[in-house]
Amino acid sequence: MTPDAQPERTPDGRFVIVGGRRWRATDPLIPEEEASRLRSHLMAARRAIAAARRAQDPEAESAARARVQLAKVALGERGTPWWEQSDQERRNRWREGLGALD
């Protein structure tokens, strides 16, 4: 897949298919600027997990994993499925996530 290519989606748009596996898609209601910030937090937290593991620092690894969870929930990729939430609940979810991560 090229860097600009979008992953295959299920017909309902709720999941992406990557390497033959189905993953929950990011909530399409999130404005691109905010989704980009959340993805940046997610990737920084993933890098922090790797650094903590290299340093054999379980406390730092745990903190980084908690940040990954916050970002994934805010993006709608974990927790209550975004398609089961009202628009207001969805907005609150990503706004609260950004508030906790920024």
What pLDDT is stored for residue 4 in this prediction? 66
The structure's pTM equals 0.91
Q: What is the residue whose two structure tokens read 């903190």? A: 63
Of 26, 67, 19, residue with least CA distance to 45: 67
Question: What is the full per-residue pLDDT of the chain (102 aa) written as tens digits?
Answer: 555 678 899 999 999 999 999 999 999 999 999 999 999 999 999 999 999 999 999 999 999 999 999 999 999 999 999 999 999 999 999 999 999 999
Which pLDDT value is given to residue 2?
57
Taking residue 16's Cβ as centre, other Cβ atoms within 10 Å add up to 17
Position 75 scores a pLDDT of 98
Extents of the domains making up the chain? 28-101
- Predicted pLDDT at 6: 84
